[in-house]
Structure 1
Amino acid sequence: MNSAITIILLIDDNGAVVRIMKEYTVALKILIVGCGDIGTPLGLQLAAAGHQVWGLRRSSLLPAPLKTINADVTVAATLSVLADLSFDCVVMTLTPAAFSDAGYEQVFNQGLLNVLQRLKQPLQIKRLFFISSTSVYHQSDGQWVDEYSPVEPVSFSGKRLLQAEQSLVASGIAFSIIRFAGIYGPGRQRLLDQVMSGQGSAKTPSLYTNRIHRDDCVGFLAHLVGKVAQGKSVEPCYIGVDSQPVTMWELKRWLAQQLGVDPERLTQEESSRRNSKRCSNKRLLATGYQLQYPGYQSGYTELIKAYLNSNK
């Protein structure tokens, strides 16, 4: 494997060098399973950093310099090519074909097992990063949760994801689970459409929502892979959210103001969601990663401009 050395000089107030640090970065062989709007830009970012990156997706070619593997995680026979390749890191960003219990079981449970069974020498992989969701948390009273909080999911999606997490823990492979929440960004404009159509949210009971911009999902994953390349330790679980939990009522009223919609005209609809929690990102920030969009206002501002321009 190729490697690079970064020299870091620590200088005191008088300009004198007080310490010299060396950071070794190893070029990794990385497999990204699931190359959508997170996996593909992640692969390109990692390739730009000097890593070799393979991307597994059902069909179509990935942009250069990514190496394409066309396969379906739900069809074990299509994954036979993995036995001929060796990887240092694996990132799994899976997306079910349908938002249903069967769809989630097929992709997150059976799909994960299919990949684990066909990886060459899986126990020698430095790290497998599995993208999960904060839906594994059951808390519903607006309390704060972190990576140590109990998980007793009530939704089918949370239950299936927790089962996948447990399978990964039992596999013996070195892993990190990243529980993202409320991913938004280009092409993810469901809330904007709702607000434009006048659909609001009830003020009470308070329903907290946690969010993270797509670019920060990519950035944080690349940051973690970079730590592995430098031989640094990473935690087995991270919550991936920004620094600003907000009630859905407050969020939709703010979006309405930015979109030119009268907030007072929004309907006060009760949500079918019953989970209401505030997710802590202290562990994420402790890694040294700096959020590009630390709150929903900064993240949605650019999206709103593009949204309004596209609807002129």
Structure 2
Amino acid sequence: MTVLIAGCGDLGTEVGLRLAARGERVVGRRRPAGASRQGSGGRAPPPAPPPPIPADTDVVVLAAAAGGRSEAAYRSAYVDATANVLGALERDGVHPRRILFVSSTAVYGDFDGGWVTEESPAESTTPTARLVREAEELLLGRSGHGTVLRLSGIYGPGRTRLIDSVRDGSAVLPAEPQWTNRIHRDDAAAAIVHLTMDVAEPAPVYLGSDELPVDLGEVLRFLAAELGLPGPASGEASSSRAGARRCDSALLRASGFSFAYPTYREGYRAVLAGTGVRHP
């Protein structure tokens, strides 16, 4: 049997390596460079039809990432790409037992610091988040074997924006508490493998976030201490795009999944130690 990974960036590549280590045959596909750039008509050109899908494809992982922050880039990477893969499966008469779409907790919007679960309304008014939600609905509406994994902010090898901001002194402690949610790249990849390979009947939607939502200021102070630097100065705002919500991944854990990095502390210590590599 074959696992098809559509979207072989850092996360998709890590998923593929883990599946191959388990003895699975993995086929990875990625869009050509610039495929999600905006065209002259105000939106990115539609993706080219995919090549034939291997007839023995048992699992499909949709792990595309937008090439920019524009609505055009998001529509191309999520809505158009999902429709393209689903259309190719129908075209080739291939019926995988599992299709997993890598989504984002951004679909939830602002909950004023409250907890969100898979049952919480995914009603973000942000245009890009609404496009991610549209792609979710497309998969769940067209496939009886679809699973959506909503990941919070991914960090890990090579993803050092927050660390760099503490190092260079540009980090600012928010004046008000600001909840943040995150998941280490390795845990995100492990969750995808778990849901596609180890769970017999997965739920339609899972939330993928570590076990400790935390105030951004606490993370910044922790990183400063780990780096042996003074704590960041207080300010009025932060550059973080995280919404005011706390993500609860209890359903994922109840499926038998265990985090290698259950909180930001273990994860950032691994990043600071140089553990792992970011895949090109």
Alignment of structure 1 residues 55-94 onto 2, 5 Å:
55-58=28-31, 74-77=46-49, 79-82=50-53, 85-94=55-64
Cα deviation, 1:79-103, whole Å, max 9, x if unaligned, reads 1322x63411100110112121110
Q: Answer yes or no: is 1:100 the counterpart of 2:70.
A: yes
Q: CA deviation at 1:154?
A: 2.2
Counterpart of 2:42 in structure 1 is none
Counterpart of 2:278 in structure 1 is none
Match of 1:301 among 260, 265, 269: 269
Contact kept in structure 1, 2:174 and 2:238, CA below 8 Å: no
Counterpart of 2:177 in structure 1 is 206
Contact kept in structure 2, 1:198 and 1:267, CA below 8 Å: no
Q: CA deviation at 1:285?
A: 0.5
Contact kept in structure 2, 1:199 and 1:267, CA below 8 Å: no
Q: CA deviation at 1:40?
A: 1.4
Alignment of structure 1 residues 1-312 onto 2, 5 Å:
28-58=1-31, 74-77=46-49, 79-82=50-53, 85-119=55-89, 120-122=92-94, 124-227=95-198, 232-263=200-231, 265-271=232-238, 273=241, 275-306=243-274
Counterpart of 2:41 in structure 1 is none
TM-score by length of 1: 0.78
TM-score by length of 2: 0.87
Cα deviation, 1:124-178, whole Å, max 9, x if unaligned, reads 2201000000000023311000000011112222111001111112213411100
Q: CA deviation at 1:74?
A: 4.5
Q: CA deviation at 1:58?
A: 3.4
Q: CA deviation at 1:121?
A: 2.6
One-letter amino acid of the counterpart of residue 266, structure 1: A
Identity of aligned pairs, percent?
A: 37
Contact kept in structure 2, 1:125 and 1:173, CA below 8 Å: no
One-letter amino acid of the counterpart of residue 111, structure 2: S
Q: Which runs of 5+ in 1 are unaligned?
A: 1-27, 61-72, 308-312
Q: Which runs of 4+ in 1 moved over 6 A?
A: none
One-letter amino acid of the counterpart of residue 229, structure 2: V
Contact kept in structure 2, 1:209 and 1:277, CA below 8 Å: yes
Contact kept in structure 1, 2:174 and 2:235, CA below 8 Å: yes
Give the distance between the partners of 1:303 and 1:46, measured in 2 at CA: 23
Q: CA deviation at 1:234?
A: 0.9
Q: Which runs of 5+ in 2 are unaligned?
A: 34-44, 276-280
Contact kept in structure 1, 2:7 and 2:62, CA below 8 Å: yes
Counterpart of 1:14 in structure 2 is none
- How many residues were matched structurally? 261
Q: CA deviation at 1:269?
A: 4.1
Contact kept in structure 1, 2:175 and 2:236, CA below 8 Å: no
Counterpart of 1:67 in structure 2 is none
Give the distance between the partners of 2:179 and 2:76, measured in 1 at CA: 30
One-letter amino acid of the counterpart of residue 55, structure 1: G
Contact kept in structure 2, 1:202 and 1:270, CA below 8 Å: yes
Cα deviation, 1:237-285, whole Å, max 9, x if unaligned, reads 100011010011111111111112211x434241354721100010011
Backbone CA RMSD of aligned residues: 2.1
One-letter amino acid of the counterpart of residue 136, structure 2: E
Give the distance between the partners of 1:201 and 1:163, measured in 2 at CA: 34
**More relative contact order in 1 or in 2 (CA 8 Å, sep 6+)?**
2
Cα deviation, 1:159-204, whole Å, max 9, x if unaligned, reads 1100111111221341110000110000111111111122334444
Q: CA deviation at 1:59?
A: 5.8
Contact kept in structure 2, 1:201 and 1:270, CA below 8 Å: yes
